[in-house]
Structure 1
Amino acid sequence: MSKKSKIKVVETNDFIVSWLRDYATNAKVNGFVIGISGGVDSAVTSTLCAQTGLTTLCVEMPIHQHSSQVSRGREHIEQLKKRFPNVKNAETDLTTVFESFKKVIPSHEDTVKIDLSLANTRARLRMTTLYYYAGIYGLLVAGTGNKVEDFGVGFYTKYGDGGVDLSPIADLMKSDVYALGDYLNIPNSIQNAAPTDGLFGDSRTDEEQLGASYDELEWAMLEAENYKKKEDFLGRERDVFEIFSKLNKANKHKMNPIPICIIPEFCKKK
């Protein structure tokens, strides 16, 4: 189920950079702010933004972060600053904010739910921080989600890393992101690292959380788009297709527009 990217990297890179520049110009902003995680998605997104020539602010927001994620993020930022004079960086350590938050919320006997809620809280604290920087410097928050995460399995936090102004790589499969990363000379330490959301303060990978690799999920997403069903597969393929289908259904609330209660005419005064 290994997937190879089908995009033309040069054309795709140039198209996204032009799209970003045009969007920012029309919005009359100074550039972009991106949360840097030490992963390939944020590295590619920030490099795309940097190529616009507009202000590109890379922000590190550690919360009890694993040291490997911190070092990869810093390596990328330093490389990017050397390549592009419009790149700036900032670090806001949110660990004390996170710990203060934990002290004022009620406890619960379900530790699994607590862990997940606190993981999502980390993402929402980071979103709030990015919008603070965006507000004071006149920037747009650039999302770092890819197509598999954003529209396949919904592997992101609503109003956390899903809270952005624009999504430059959300129509790219994970294999496409890696292809762009290679073209853009993203550090090998990032390209070779196992993807992780970094929300639990440890080194658990996305694959461990999702139950399937991105190659497998990308395959399943394409098969689902071709109207295939689990009965069409056997063995590991069937397992992966079921994982994808279950996550896609459970996370539709993230992908679909927020439900609005439309008031009917009979409720209105004549």
Structure 2
Amino acid sequence: MQTEKVVNHIVDWLKAYATNAKVNGFVIGISGGIDSAVTSILCAKTGLKVRCIEMPIHQAESHVSRAQEHIKQLKSRFSNVSATRTDLTPVFEEFKTEVSLDGKKEVVDMALANTRARLRMTTLYYHAGLSGLLVAGTGNKVEDFGVGFYTKYGDGGVDLSPIADLLKSEVYKIGAFLEVSDAIMKAAPSDGLFGDTRSDEDQIGASYPELEWAMQMDESGKTEKDFSGREQNVFKIYQRFNTSNKHKMVAIPICEVPKEYK
């Protein structure tokens, strides 16, 4: 990958899109992970206004410290960057008092995890509306178009996706080029939606390098019968997530009413 050319292309694309949309810049949620770190730097390099929002909800301390350190470094490097911290923990706790928490624990936990992501999306759009900004997404290609590892209308609710055509490994290469902190570069990828340190790999059952491989094999027309052992298991994991999360990756289905009925 020609990293510098990719970086310049994305920065130019971001600036052109914002200019054509007649907005002032971008708002982005900072999680302490590589995707939001890379996306925020790319946005900052446009020279347009960038508002970084930290939105903890019972967040693991390691996630909080990485997010805060990244924002501090970003502000020191770019004068067009500002930051806001919105603690959504009280909002989340109040929400739980108003809904039923009956049901299987794993189902309730997942519903609440998705609620966290949707509260953050709402917060980002609030700040975007106040300042005339676009919400920049942080999803990469494997997450957005491979396994669908994001929350519909949560972190999937954005105005534009600067890194969605990049594999996770490519995001790391850009992160190194952009001098993202070692703490973030070395941290295990995590969505941070459960208030603990569980990683994406813990939840999915496969690492991002494995998922990239499976995505490439699937696109080449391979089937699980072409593999054995760990490769077959990873391929099955990829296909299971890809199938079950397809509703996130395609347009919302519309019931088309026959013209003669109208």
- TM normalised by structure 1 equals 0.96
Q: CA RMSD in A?
A: 0.5
Question: Structure 2 matches for 1:147-162, cutoff 5 A?
Answer: 147-162=141-156
Correspondence 1:111 to 2:105: yes
Matches within 5 A, 1:74-85: 74-85=68-79
Q: How far is the alpha carbon of 1:267 from its aligned partner?
A: 0.6
* TM-score for both structures, normalised by structure 2: 0.99
Instruction: Give the superposition deviation at 1:107.
Output: 2.4
How many equivalent residue pairs? 262
> Which residue matches 2:169?
175
Partner Cα separation in structure 2 for residue 143 and residue 153 of structure 1: 17
DSSP 3-state at the match of 1:260: coil
- Consecutive unaligned residues of structure 1, counting only runs of 5 or more, are 1-6
Matches of 1:38 and 1:157, distance apart in 2? 18
Alignment of 1:191-202 (within 5 A): 191-202=185-196
Structure 1 residue identity aligned to 2:88: L
Moved over 4 A (4+): none
Q: Aligned to 1:55, which of 28, 31, 49?
A: 49
What is the letter of the counterpart of residue 237 of structure 1? E
Structure-2 residue corresponding to 1:97: 91
Q: Does 1:263 align with 2:257?
A: yes
Identify the residue that residue 240 of structure 1 maps to in structure 2.
Answer: 234
Q: 2:140 aligns to what?
A: 146
Q: How does 1:183-222 map to 2 (within 5 A)?
A: 183-222=177-216
Name the SS for the 2:114 alignment partner. helix
Q: Match of 1:100, as an amino acid? A: E
Partners in 2 of 1:108 and 1:8 — Cα distance?
Answer: 52
1:224 equivalent in structure 2? 218
Deviations 1:225-261 (A, max 9, x none): 1001000011100000000001000000000000011
CA distance in 2, matches of 1:256, 1:109: 29
1:254 aligns to 2:239 (yes or no): no
Cα deviation 1:100-151 (Å, max 9, x = unaligned): 0000001213111100000000000000000000000000000000000000
Distance 1:171 1:50 in 2: 19
